[in-house]
Amino acid sequence: MKVAVVGATGLVGSEMLTVLAERNFPVTELIPVASERSKGKEIEFKGKKYKVVTPTEAIALKPDVALFSAGGGTSTEYAPLFAEAGITVIDNSSAWRMDPTKKLVVPEVNGDVLTAEDKIIANPNCSTIQMVVVLKPLHEKYKIKRVVVSTYQSVTGTGVKAVQQLNDERAGVEGEKAYPYQIDLNVIPQIDVFQDNGYTKEEMKMIKETNKIMQDDSIKVTATTVRIPVVGGHSESVNIEFENDFDLAELRAALEAQDGVIVVDNPANLEYPMPKDAHGKDEVFVGRIRRDESQDKTVNLWIVADNLRKGAATNAVQVAELLAKKGLI
């Protein structure tokens, strides 16, 4: 299969190449794509070298599928051109997520919605992906009424510049800033720009995307998203209120049975998910599972995942795998 990776030189693009190789996706020809200034650079994939091409050149090479991770502007401009040429696009930017004509897909949650007509498929926001994988079996079993989520998101979610800022600050070096404030030894309660309602764009993404992926607008969601000085892995404190009561052992068993979820929950041995343990993994980890003692039919969870993998690259590759399995690409 001919596979294009648009944004191949970026953080998520590089991770997409790693995940494609690790999961043995049937790549017969790789087409690494980036901006004009990266044209001609060499990318290594499975021991072979490939030259970076521009998006226009990539379309002419007719890949079967294109994994996009080059920002919303690039996706808005080029994804429709790839789609018009019959190439299936899986886009990691926010450009198409809330477009009612486009599917927003996490394979373990709503992979069944994909059809041959879907030529631009949106990859959800990293913090939404890891949460909905955990919500799905609980919604099926107990029906979720409301979700309150606070995130603890790593600097890799912002990009290379943010990682550099953190490293510079730790080394006492002056350098370019990705954030308006110091991030080392600090916590910034703002991810993306503020909206008129006082929420950030990231918080509103989590709210709207959860309803769309879960295919249920009755689920009420409220979010606070926070940037922390961690290099990789997003963590979330999630409080879930159900319509129906639950047995804690049954709830835990439902999570253990969910595809893509690993339960790490043994307080007696101080075992719970942490970002460093999720690093390089494709699964979503959940622990600190306990009843909310202030309210009936409510549970507290702690959810952790590698934001560059399941939160971005892995999910996109899993969508491609599902399309291939269904014979849609």
Q: Alpha-carbon torsion 93, 94, 99, 100, what sign?
A: positive
Residue 319 bears catalytic tag: no
307 is known to lie in a ligand binding site: yes
Specify the residue for token string 């808005």. Answer: 76
Task: Report yes or no: 315 and 129 within 8 Å, Cβ to Cβ.
Answer: yes
Residue 139 bears catalytic tag: no
Specify the residue for token string 């995942």. Answer: 305
Give the number of other Cβ atoms within 10 Å of residue 116's Cβ.
Answer: 11
Alpha carbon distance 72, 176 (integer Å):
23
Alpha carbon distance 115, 328 (integer Å):
7
Active-site residue (options: 102, 103, 234, 310): 234
Alpha carbon distance 329, 321 (integer Å):
9
295 is known to lie in a ligand binding site: no
146 is known to lie in a ligand binding site: no
| Structure token pair of residue 150 | 């606070």
Active-site residue (options: 66, 126, 149, 262): 126
Of 48, 53, 56, 51, nearest to 27 by C-alpha is: 48
Residue 171 backbone phi and psi in degrees, to 5: -90, -5
258 is known to lie in a ligand binding site: no
47 is known to lie in a ligand binding site: no
Alpha carbon distance 219, 148 (integer Å):
11
- Give me the residues paired with residue 147 across strands: 221, 240
12 is known to lie in a ligand binding site: yes
Alpha carbon distance 328, 4 (integer Å):
17
239 is known to lie in a ligand binding site: no
DSSP classification of residue 200: B
Task: Report yes or no: 309 and 288 within 8 Å, Cβ to Cβ.
Answer: no
38 is known to lie in a ligand binding site: yes
Q: HSE on the CB side for 261, CA within 13 Å?
A: 28
Summarize the annotated binding site as residue ranges. Answer: 9-12, 37-38, 97, 153, 227, 307
Summarize the annotated binding site for NADP(+) as residue ranges. Answer: 9-12, 37-38, 307
The catalytic residues are 126, 234
Summarize the annotated binding site for phosphate as residue ranges. Answer: 97
Summarize the annotated binding site for substrate as residue ranges. Answer: 153, 227
